[in-house]
Structure 1
Amino acid sequence: MTDINAQFAQAQQDVKQLPERPGNLTLLRLYALFKQASEGDARGDKPGFTDIVGKYKYDAWAALKGTAQEAAKQQYVELVESLKSGAAT
């Protein structure tokens, strides 16, 4: 396992142990980075207007189109680290 993969796996554990729940925009960013890092570019149909949460999640993920999976992992790790230190909300 490469170093970034180990850090990514650790960040996935760390995010569950945060002292307080991040704001909705930060949660969307975490979701999008996780999906991009694990699956690559968004695919499939965009959820309809009746699925507001699904639509926002899809849009956040689709906004990262073209971002390399390794880069998304690094950004995810950095975001979790900033949340742990209290720098981001």
Structure 2
Amino acid sequence: MNTCQAQRKLNGDGQAEQGRGTGVDCAALTCMVQLAQIIVGAGLGALVNMVGSVIVVVLSASTVSLIGCLFIALFIRYVE
């Protein structure tokens, strides 16, 4: 912290230094969701083009769900 920041804090003028707000968190979350949708859409689009049928979307979703269930069943522990 440099001298100017320390002086603003002492004067009570450091309103912007308290941290980020809820709006920034919501904006970051929205950006992450949009990016995830683009990545999933591009990946599934390429997969459909390779296979030539849209049934691969259902099969890949089922496979990923099965892998997620197996991961949770084998590796997640509840500690009390």
* Same structural fold, with TM-score higher than 0.5 when normalized by the shorter chain: no
Larger radius of gyration, structure 1 or 2? 2
Higher helix share: 2
The alignment's TM-score, normalised by the length of structure 1, stands at: 0.31
Higher normalized contact order (CA 8 Å, seq sep 6+, divided by chain length): 1
TM-score, normalisation: structure 2: 0.33
